[in-house]
Amino acid sequence: MLCVANSIDGGFSFKKSKNNPLIEHVGPTDAVYHNGKYYIFYGDAKWNPKTKQLTDKLSIYVAVTKDPENLKNAKIYKCITPGFKGSWDSNSVGGGKIFRLKNKWWMIYQGGDTHFDFQPRFHAASSDDLIHWTKVKNERPLFLRGDAGN
């Protein structure tokens, strides 16, 4: 679930929002405040609670809002999707972490061709607006995850 809490003491203590959860059946990954808006990133594979089935491959979304405690009016964008069949990230992408370097936004994210939520590879994507992302074209990963339990 995507939930939010805020701090008024510089991050030493947090108070959970009364509106939690903001979105169910997703995995939050990162949040950025930029130019008066919050960009809240999360992974979603469109879980259908009635059928108890996923209806899409795990992708990275961003909710853009001025109110991080209420996403009802947020604009939602799918920003990183799995690759084509046979590619290293053809099954799922997730876990995006965002930073800014030399006036460009960067995301380090995980991807895999077999695992849903234990993706073995980490790659990068870049953006000028935090919404539209371009994967770095490189068949080699930035690094690989360790074995389960490590």
Tell me the C-alpha distance between 70 and 73, whole Å. 7
Question: pLDDT digits over 22-39, tens only?
Answer: 999 999 999 999 999 999
Token pair, residue 124, equals 């990068």
Question: pLDDT digits over 73-95, tens only?
Answer: 999 999 999 999 988 899 999 99
| Predicted structure pTM score | 0.90
Q: Which pLDDT value is given to residue 65?
A: 97
- Report all structural domains of the chain as residue ranges with CATH numbers, in order of start: 20-144 (2.115.10.20)
Tell me the C-alpha distance between 18 and 5, whole Å. 9
